[in-house]
């Protein structure tokens, strides 16, 4: 069967019954009680889904067969379909996922031992049209559900072979259904890994390759606030995915009214896509600035920090040649950030077909960084990862969109 058909089938399956993936725990318990199943089963089911990665109720061996059947009759635990799975020469992996309505988003895994970061999408496309961002040029936009956000983690864990026993125990590695190694619904670049890639397909024995989550994929997370908060709650649940707040980062282009609520509702790391130091320039390149200018944005950051004092705020700054990368800009940035415990992440601009910018030279990036570091601000320069598979920061845009007009080699 063709990969696309398999992805369609998985998407249909998702549409058919309520999916337990992404459902709040209280809601799961209520459903169980309504079906006459003991409420304590909720924790067991939860663990099967989030710590064992099962995709089939029959694999839940601690649950009676007739209860398994009842659950299967009413619910699904399916993931999204995988339309495509590509692996970069630098081991960055990208999955193009397909949901019940046929919409697609991308999820990227960036290994950087001892860490592994999953860059998740929060929307199909983005309404905000930042001028340097490929996602912002996508026409179709909708919010992802909490289930569609969480499925990205589960698919990544499937693909990375991270569930306990994944190296051979089929019952506990059922998630590998979407795993290219199993000949499932996904497809590596060119259908299967090339010989140079083979080592990447060895099943890992380290259960914690995926350690960090960043909401830096497609979409503006704070425009999908409720679902993002629900997904974060699921990520933090100690009986399930059990990630810590310190390992989760939400990146926003500056939806000011949601920044303080995020501190209260989630308390995770905050990243701000600043990219310019004057309102004049930011109005042009990050158009949400026209609604919420830099001063209001930084006030919200100060308040965020007073509520979540243990964390620095990360300011992302894309390096656009001759646009925002002068030494004077760097000095102005130092002044703006005074009093906010900050880190600045300089992101080399990742070009995409038809992009109106070029990336600043290494010299200019380092010169800019030195000014900040001299002022005591930690200023890492982000390594560009997954460029060859269009998985680099800001390049994400669904392949179906690309097929409509643009030519991109994958
Ligand atoms: N919408 C959110 C999160 C997704 S974008 C936000 O804007 O913060 C994640 C990061 O990638 C943002 O800092 C964004 O500005 C940056 N980005 C977008 N396009 C880029 C590109 N072409 N090159 C480098 N970084 C880019
Ligand atoms: Fe949307 Fe973020 Fe891209 Fe701007 S940078 S268009 S907010 S995804």
Q: What stretches in the chain show pLDDT beneath 50?
A: 1-2, 167-206, 403-410
Ligand 2, closest atom to CA 288? 7
Q: Which of 119, 126, 130, 393 is catalytic?
A: 393
Neighbours of 21 (CB within 10 A): 25
Domain spans of the chain, in order of start: 20-74, 81-402
pLDDT at res. 9: 59
Of 106, 148, 187, 401, catalytic: 106
Q: Is 274 in the pocket of ligand 1 (CB under 6 A)?
A: no
Q: Is 148 a catalytic site residue?
A: no
CA dist., res. 130 & res. 128, Å (int): 6
Residues whose CB falls within 8 Å of the CB of residue 409, separated by 6 or more in sequence, listed in order: none
Nearest ligand 1 atom, CA 219: 1
- Give the distance (Å) from ligand 2 centre to CA of residue 174: 35
CB-based pocket (< 6 A), ligand 2: 126, 128-130, 133, 135-136, 219-220, 253, 273
**Ligand 2 atom closest to residue 129's alpha carbon, by position in its atom list:** 6
**DSSP structural state of residue 322:** T
CATH class of this structure's domain 81-402: alpha beta
- 20-74: CATH topology: DNA polymerase; domain 1 (1.10.150)
66-79 confidence digits (pLDDT tens): 999 999 999 999 89
> Does ligand 1 come within 6 angstroms of the Cβ of 273?
yes
Q: Is 327 a catalytic residue?
A: no
With CA atoms as reference, report the closest residue to 167 among 202, 192, 210: 202
Cis ω on the peptide bond leading into residue 114 (within 30° of 0)?
Answer: yes
In this predicted structure, what is the pLDDT of residue 204? 39
Ligand 1 atom, smallest distance to 316 CA? 13
Mutation test residue for ligand 2: of 125, 218, 220, the one with most atoms within 8 Å of CB:
220
pLDDT score at 404: 45
Handedness of CA 156, 159, 160, 164 (dihedral sign): positive
pLDDT at res. 231? 98
- Distance from residue 325's CA to the centre of ligand 1 (Å): 16
């Amino acid at each position: 069967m063709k990969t696309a058909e398999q992805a369609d089938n998985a998407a249909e399956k998702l549409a058919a019954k309520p999916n337990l993936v992404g459902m709040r725990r209280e809601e799961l318990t209520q459903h169980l009680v309504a079906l006459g199943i003991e409420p304590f089963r909720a924790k067991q089911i939860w663990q099967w889904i989030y710590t064992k990665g099962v995709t089939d109720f029959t694999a839940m061996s601690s649950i009676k067969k007739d209860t398994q059947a009842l659950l299967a009759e009413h619910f699904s635990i399916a993931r999204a379909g995988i339309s495509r799975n590509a692996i970069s020469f630098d081991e960055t992996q990208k999955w193009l996922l397909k949901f019940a309505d046929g919409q697609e988003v991308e999820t990227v895994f960036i290994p950087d031992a001892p860490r592994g970061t999953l860059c998740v999408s929060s929307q199909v496309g983005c309404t905000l049209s930042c001028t340097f961002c490929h996602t912002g040029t996508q026409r179709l936009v909708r919010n992802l559900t909490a289930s569609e956000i969480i499925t990205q983690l589960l698919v990544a864990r499937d693909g990375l072979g991270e569930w306990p026993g994944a190296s051979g125990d089929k019952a506990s590695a059922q998630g590998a259904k979407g795993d290219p190694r199993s000949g499932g619904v996904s497809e590596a670049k060119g259908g299967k890994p090339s010989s140079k890639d083979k080592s990447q397909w060895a099943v890992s024995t380290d259960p914690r390759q995926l350690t960090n989550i960043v909401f830096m994929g497609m979409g503006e997370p704070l425009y999908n606030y409720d679902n993002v908060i629900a997904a974060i709650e699921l990520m933090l649940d100690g009986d399930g995915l059990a990630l810590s707040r310190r390992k989760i980062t939400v990146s926003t282009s500056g939806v000011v009214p949601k920044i303080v609520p995020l501190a209260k509702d989630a308390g995770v790391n905050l990243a701000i896509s600043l990219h310019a130091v004057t309102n004049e320039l930011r109005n042009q390149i990050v158009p949400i600035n026209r609604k919420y200018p830099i001063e209001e944005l930084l006030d919200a950051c100060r308040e965020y920090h007073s509520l979540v004092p243990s964390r620095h705020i990360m300011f992302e700054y894309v390096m656009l040649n001759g646009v925002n990368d002068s030494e004077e800009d760097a000095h102005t940035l130092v002044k703006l950030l005074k009093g906010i415990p900050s880190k600045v992440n300089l992101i080399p601009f990742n070009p995409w077909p038809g992009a109106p910018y070029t990336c600043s030279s290494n010299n200019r990036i380092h010169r800019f960084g030195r000014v900040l570091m001299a002022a005591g601000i930690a200023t890492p320069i982000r390594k560009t990862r997954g460029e060859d598979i269009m998985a680099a920061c800001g390049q994400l845009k669904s392949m179906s969109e690309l097929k409509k007009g643009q030519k991109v080699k994958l």
